[in-house]
């Protein structure tokens, strides 16, 4: 009898992850017998968890914070995008039982902009933040032909490091001069954790430091944070009359590639999926 494929998302903490809801929606929609569960794994336990995946009968799974870099170090067969970013979020076994890793965040980022702002690829981007998420965004922007990417981070040294890694299109700049660069950008991306609900930021930090009144009128503003969907950053851009793209579509699209590996079908990111996930989220918050 054929085994029912099973997959997971591992992180610490993991209770907040929307991935089980997304994958179960597709399992149900495509009438696939399979499972997708969240597993809380500490950093110390993560290597033994990865080494026991085959024994546990998984077809593969996702890894999320804080394990993406550790997963990259543990999985020997990583693809080009993963090697470039230095972190993975998707794992699968090939037919020979070898574990592979990829980073599908960059794919998710571009698909979300393709969906909600077709023609977004232009000349100059401003990227705020130089952590793990920023690396996937920089990779995407380079892939889609951005000529100049201004990278601004609170800790300048991290921005300099990424600029060296990603090459000459990336120009690091100082945090305090952020508003001097707003007017140059065709795309502005927040990759920092400022604005994440319940994250340890004070009210002052939640207010975006950006003065959107300097922005080009046709700039596209996007945030990779999706909890809340309308971050203070996006709210402010919207109030300034600018085009905004929220971050949840990136989560949906990055998930499609893993689903295809484990369950054999490339699922569609639809309005129905979006509304189902957002509605159940809101209901859970109310209770
Ligand atoms: P991730 O892997 O999710 O990107 P990370 O590596 O911890 O997470 O990076 C978080 C990003 O948010 C960093 O760019 C961080 O800036 P620093 O490198 O200076 O720490 C940024 N960040 C977090 N809190 C911030 C704050 N209060 N103000 C400005 N930037 C902040």
The predicted structure's pLDDT at residue 287 = 60
Query: What is the distance in A from the centroid of ligand 1 to the CA of 140?
Result: 19
pLDDT of residue 186: 98
Give residue 207's pLDDT.
62
Quote the pLDDT of residue 194: 86
Q: Atom 12 of ligand 1 has which residue's CA nearest to it? A: 192
pTM: 0.94
> Please, are residues 162 and 130 in contact by the beta-carbon 8 Å criterion?
yes
Q: How far is Cα 175 from Cα 179, in angstroms, rounded to an integer?
A: 9
- 41-50, long-range: CB within 8 Å, 24+ apart, which pairs? 41/10, 41/11, 41/12, 41/14, 41/67, 42/12, 43/12, 43/67, 43/70, 46/10, 46/70, 46/71, 46/74, 47/74, 49/10, 50/74, 50/75, 50/91, 50/99
CA distance 214 to 212: 5
Residue 221 CA to residue 32 CA, distance in Å, equals 37
Closest C-alpha among 44, 52, 108 to residue 81: 108
Residue 240: the pLDDT is: 97
Ligand 1 neighbourhood includes 247 CB (under 6 angstroms): no
> Does the Cβ of 193 fall within 6 Å of ligand 1?
yes
Beginning with the edge strand found earlier in the chain, give each strand of the sheet holding 170-174 in spatial order: 170-174, 148-153, 124-128, 187-190, 220-223, 243-245
Ligand 1, residue 128: give the atom nearest the CA: 14
Neighbours of 145 (CB within 10 A): 10
C-beta 167 within 6 A of ligand 1? no
pLDDT tens digits for range 229-275? 999 999 999 999 999 999 999 999 999 999 999 999 999 999 999 99
* Burial (Cβ within 10 Å: 0-12, 13-18, ≥19) of residue 127: buried
pLDDT above 80: residue 203: no
Tokens of 270: 């639809």
Rounded to the nearest angstrom, the distance between the alpha carbon of 129 and the centre of ligand 1 is 6
CB of 131 closer than 6 A to ligand 1? yes
| Each residue's pLDDT tens digit, 204-215 | 555 667 899 999
HSE (side-chain half, CA atoms, 13 Å) at 118:
1
- List strands edge to edge, sheet with 60-63: 35-40, 6-11, 60-63, 90-93, 99-102, 77-78
Give the three-class secondary structure for 100: strand
Find out whether 106 and 139 touch, Cβ atoms under 8 Å: yes
Nearest to 61 by CA among 29, 31, 23: 23
Q: What is the average pLDDT value for the chain, to the nearest integer?
A: 94
Q: Return the best residue to mutate from 105, 131, 138 for the ligand 1 pocket (most ligand atoms within 8 A of CB).
A: 131
Nearest residue (by CA) to ligand 1, atom 26, is: 194
Cβ(234) – ligand 1 distance below 6 Å: no
Q: Report residue 48 as tokens.
A: 């033994």
Question: Residue 21 contacts by C-beta under 8 Å, 6 or more apart in sequence?
Answer: 276, 277, 280
pLDDT for the residue 42: 98
Instruction: Tell whether ligand 1 has an atom less than 6 A from the beta carbon of residue 35.
Output: no
Burial (0-12, 13-18, 19+ Cβ within 10 Å), 265:
middle
pLDDT in tens, 22-71: 999 999 999 999 999 999 999 999 999 999 999 999 999 999 999 999 99
Q: Which helix (DSSP H) or strand (DSSP E) does residue 10 occupy?
A: strand 6-11
């Amino acid at each position: 009898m054929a085994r029912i494929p099973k997959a997971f998302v591992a992180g610490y903490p993991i209770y907040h992850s929307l991935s089980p809801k997304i994958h179960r929606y597709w399992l149900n929609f495509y009438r696939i017998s399979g499972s997708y569960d969240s597993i809380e794994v500490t950093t110390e336990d993560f290597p033994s968890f990865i080494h026991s995946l085959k024994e546990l009968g998984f077809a593969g799974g996702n890894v999320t914070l804080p394990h993406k870099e550790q997963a990259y170090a543990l999985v020997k067969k990583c693809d080009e995008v993963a090697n470039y970013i230095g972190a993975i979020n998707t794992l699968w076994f090939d037919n020979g039982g070898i574990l592979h890793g990829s980073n599908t965040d960059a794919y998710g980022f571009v698909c979300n902009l393709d969906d909600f702002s077709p023609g977004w690829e232009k000349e100059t981007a401003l990227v705020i933040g130089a952590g793990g998420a920023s690396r996937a965004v920089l990779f995407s922007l380079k892939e889609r032909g951005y000529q100049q990417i201004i990278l601004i981070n609170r800790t300048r040294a991290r921005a300099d490091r990424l600029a060296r890694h990603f090459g000459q299109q990336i120009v690091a700049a100082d945090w305090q001069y952020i508003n001097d660069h707003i007017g140059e950008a065709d795309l502005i991306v927040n990759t920092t954790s400022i604005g994440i609900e319940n994250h340890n930021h004070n009210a002052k930090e939640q207010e975006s430091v950006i003065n959107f009144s300097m922005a080009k009128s046709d700039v596209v503003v996007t945030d990779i944070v999706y909890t809340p969907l309308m971050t203070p950053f996006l709210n402010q851009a919207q109030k300034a009359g600018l085009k905004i793209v929220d971050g949840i579509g990136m989560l949906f699209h990055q998930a499609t590639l893993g689903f295809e590996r484990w369950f054999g079908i490339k699922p569609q990111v639809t309005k129905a999926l979006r509304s189902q996930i957002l509605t159940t989220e809101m209901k859970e918050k109310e209770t």
